A and B are shown apart, each in its own frame.
Chain A
Amino acid sequence: MSNKKKKKLTPIQQEYQDFAKDREPKPQVLKNCIRAFLVGGIICTIGQGLQWFFMKYFNFTKETAGNPASAVLIIISILLTGFGVYDHIAQWAGAGTAVPVTGFANTMASAAIEHRTEGYVLGVGGNMFKLSGAVIVYGVFSAFVVAILKLTIKWLGGM
């Protein structure tokens, strides 16, 4: 917890939180990192394999083969989400399944499935981006900032 947040707590609250902290199981950071590394690596290896596959058999170039490769990963991820398997893999793998494109597909598919009962417009349509919306907003915004920086440096004669 940040120090700023702790300052607002009364001494009794602080004492209790320290008391409780000693009795809480700690998240196993190292174990989680290794698992995330393994699963994330496996997903990326599959992606790489797909890229070669599309280059070799479907005449894609190195630049364009990424599109069908990620599409296949997305489809697999959505199918696994729909069959109720993805969340179990993710509980084991943590960031390993969250960071690659499969994680993004999962946020959209899971929200769409969850809110199906509220109808296609207000439910599926309105909630599909509930979790992934933040990724899109800040993804686009950071791309914009980076592009501005690149242009500015170029304009100053830096590149």
Chain B
Amino acid sequence: MLKGHQTWVFDSKPVIISSAAVGGAFEAEGALAEDFDILHEDIWLGQDSFEKAEKKLLEEACETAISKAKMKKEDVQFFISGDLMNQIISSSFAARTLGMPFLGIFGACSSSMEGLALASLLIDSKSAEYVVAGASSHNVAAEKQFRYPTEYGGQKPPTAQWTVTGAGAALVAQKGDGPKVSCATIGKVVDMGISDPFNMGAAMAPAAVDTIEAHFRDLNIDPSYYDLIATGDLGSVGHSIAGDLLDKHGLKILKHRFTDCGLLIYNKDQPVMAGGSGCGCSAVVTYGHLLKRMKKGELKKILIVATGALLSPLSYQQKESIPCIAHAVSIEM
């Protein structure tokens, strides 16, 4: 049901009956290693290309999520997924393996929550009984497509971020045990004219702020309603900008209740500059770490605001600025 201008309220409360997070070696050294279902030592995952490795990550995440719910993939009606590769090949190719009816989406790094919002909408409208929402990214595959070869010796500025090697998937159902998706706010594209692809945090922060403000305006609630508000991959730069911007706009969020998946995932001593990024970042942190904390009872209500930078390597070479988007999904226990 539409509420306000851009928010869906799911009256039937779709349930995330299971979720899974898969990561790589660098994530295994990170702060949330224990919250992953599978961690790979080999960045190739035994495949002969990094693109295939990313596909494998996504397949494993989906299969794990389905098997954790003691179900078979035939029981699932739809698979919604997105990633960063050109023509979202990781998602499409994983869908080929999984053999489930597939809806491919692209919202850059916001794909994780775009997928969860759409999955919940399908469940809420009784268009499906079970839907899997997934998202993935692979550090090397993303670097190769968006930036320079991995072994290229270019110095990265302190605002740069580290793309997460990982995939997350959530199995959403009409009923069952688990955290419930209560509402979702679909963001609009915000472009503040930043064109430096090594400064995604600053580019995406206004989009996150716009969506967070829209969420509270549409639902007419206060930020204190949530135990935790986590943005997707703003990193340290974007996180502090977003925090200050919300303050400036008069929306008071307590510091300890406002965090960022890109800040949570790695340890301080890992060389990730401003923090983690990529579709996999918000997906693994939400579907691995945060949902686990909810099940333990540490968190009751959380709002995930996945942020995406909608640029392409071509658009940035043509000196276009970076349009950004953020989608917020509210999960309650």
Contact = CB atoms under 8 A, between A and B. Distances in A.
Contacts, number: 96
Nearest to B191: A13
Given A20-B241, A23-B237, A117-B50, A81 B151 contact: yes
Interface stretch (A46-54, A58-66, A90-98, A141-149): A90-98
B199 A24 contact: yes
Residue of A16, A32, A106 most packed against chain B (CB within 10 A): A16
Interface string A78-117: 0001101011011101110110000100110111011101
Interface residues of A, number: 41
Contact of B151 (A10, A25, A87): A87
Given A24-B199, A110-B148, A131-B148, A16 B153 contact: no
Nearest to A14: B193
B158 A19 contact: no
Contacts of A139: none
B15 to A, nearest CB: 39
B119 to A, nearest CB: 32
B245 interface: yes
B202 A110 contact: no
Contacts of B50: 117
Contact of A19 (B149, B153, B199, B241): B241
A124 to B, nearest CB: 12
B241 A87 contact: no
Interface residues on B, range: 20 to 34
Contact of A25 (B150, B156, B237): B237
A17 B193 CA distance: 8
Given A9-B193, A91-B271, A113-B149, A98 B206 contact: no
Contact of B152 (A20, A82, A93, A110): A110
A16 B192 contact: yes
Contact of B202 (A8, A24, A86): A24
Contacts of A12: 192
Nearest to A25: B158
Given A19-B241, A111-B149, A117-B50, A90 B155 contact: yes
B241 A23 contact: yes
B292 interface: no
A89 B244 CA distance: 35
Contact of B155 (A10, A82, A94): A94
B194 interface: yes
B175 interface: no
Interface in B179-203: 191-194, 199, 202
Give 5 closest A-B pairs by Cβ, nearest first: A90-B153, A114-B149, A110-B151, A117-B49, A13-B193
7 contacts: A14-B193, A17-B194, A26-B158, A94-B155, A110-B153, A113-B149, A130-B149
Interface of B: 48-51, 144, 148-159, 191-194, 199, 202, 205-206, 237, 240-241, 244-245, 271, 274
